Amino acid sequence: MRWKGDRNALLTQVAILYYEEGLTQREVARRLSISRSNISRLLTEARNEGIVEIKVKRPIKVSSDLRKALLERFALHEAMVLITGHRDFQESLEGLGRLAAEYLENTLKDDSILGISWGTAVYETVKALRPVARPGVQVVQMIGGMGSINPKIDGTELALRLGGVLSARYRYLRAPLVVENGEVHKALLQEREVREALGIARRADIALVGIGSVVPAVSSLLRAGYLTMAEVRMAAEGGAVGDICAQHFDVHGHICQLELNERVIGITLPELMKVPCVIGVAGGVDKAPAILGALRGGYVNVLVADDVAAQEVLRLHESA
């Protein structure tokens, strides 16, 4: 029988039956009334068209030497350092996500309150988590975030996805990440929903956060459209090297006296420091000053980083 539907729909259906449902090519051919030789060609076409992506998950290798050096120099509960090898940046991010997910799975308790920020590294961590029912867990969005250019890395979407993976309750922080001025900031903090969500976030026993940078090429706040280039430059000129939960700090870990910090709706860095376990995930040499500031400030106590970032963090720490 000749297939009369849309070509992409056919390619998708063949791919689902073969890759997801595990049917043999003969069984797919019988199901769709197409010759077996055509099924092989359709599978090849599905890969060429990008409908199917085949990725090989490389074994994760970690550096025990860099882990030891980080634990000796900073007040960390744990450190995991990915050996990047020949991985490209995206593959390294996925590797960091897998390491962070494994740690989170082993640390999370059935009655935990799990705070979550936003960003690509946090997204990769959530994506790597295995679905395990933890109905007693409560996931809470620690910072505002409606309106991101890339919704999948936004705090709202991540809280929803994480709650789904864990079959857990989740609580949104229904507010923008950055508001126009102090008056709007003050008014939003008085809203009952915002006040209650932040109250839950402050009681978190685990937090999963990304570590942002003011280097424009790797600035998530810039890339997501939360900040303009002028605002990122202003933060850098004010001494900032990075941010966690959009709160900026310098390389020594001191909170920067920036007007921008006063316009963020979310948990503050002093509040974050009261969370017993804060897992910070970041990689790449450009993130090293931000990671160093986060470690010196004590804003994270579990670090998941790659070897190039860890080496540069240690070098910067010894030289300044």
The CATH code of the domain that includes 131 is: 3.40.50.1360
Which amino acid, one-letter code, is at 6? D
Pair (228, 110) in one structural domain: yes
66-83: per-residue pLDDT in tens?
999 999 999 999 999 999
Q: Count up the domains in the chain and report the number.
A: 2
Give me the long-range contacts of 12-16 (CB less than 8 A, separation at least 24): 12/46, 12/51, 14/39, 14/42, 14/43, 14/46, 15/43, 15/46, 15/51, 15/52
Of 95, 79, 85, the closest CA to residue 127 belongs to 95
- Sheet with strand 212-213: strands edge to edge: 212-213, 242-244, 247-249
Kindly report which listed range (47-56, 94-103, 191-200, 288-297) carries the lowest average pLDDT score: 47-56
Model pLDDT, residue 122: 96
Residue 59 counted as domain residue: no
Which amino acid, one-letter code, is at 101? A
Residue 93 has pLDDT above 70, yes or no: yes
Model pLDDT, residue 5: 52
**Residue 176 DSSP code:** -
Q: Cα–Cα distance between 317 and 298 in angstroms, integer?
A: 14
Look up the domain containing 16 and give its range: 7-48
Q: Could you give the count of Cα atoms lying within 13 Å of 78 in the half-sphere of its Cβ?
A: 17
94-139: per-residue pLDDT in tens?
999 999 999 999 999 999 999 999 999 999 999 999 998 999 999 9
Residue 246 CA: distances (Å) to CA of 91, 113, 143, 146, 205: 25, 21, 8, 14, 20
Strand-strand pairing, 242-244 and 212-213? antiparallel
Pair (172, 275) in one structural domain: yes
Residue that the structure tokens 């450009």 belong to: 286
Question: pTM for this structure?
Answer: 0.82
Kindly report which listed range (37-51, 160-174, 195-209, 302-316) carries the lowest average pLDDT score: 37-51
Query: Is the model more confident about 231 or about 303?
Result: 303
**Share of residues in the chain with pLDDT > 70 (%):** 96
Pair (295, 147) in one structural domain: yes
Q: Cα–Cα distance between 74 and 71 in angstroms, integer?
A: 6
CATH number of the domain encompassing residue 29: 1.10.10.10
Residue 209 has pLDDT above 50, yes or no: yes
Q: Cα–Cα distance between 66 and 84 in angstroms, integer?
A: 13
262-272: per-residue pLDDT in tens?
999 999 999 99
Model pLDDT, residue 55: 67
Pair (36, 163) in one structural domain: no
Residue 55 counted as domain residue: no
* Mean pLDDT score across all residues of the chain: 91
Average pLDDT, stretch 158-183? 91
Model pLDDT, residue 316: 97
Burial 77-93 (b: 16+ CB within 10 A, else e): eebbbbebeebeeebbb
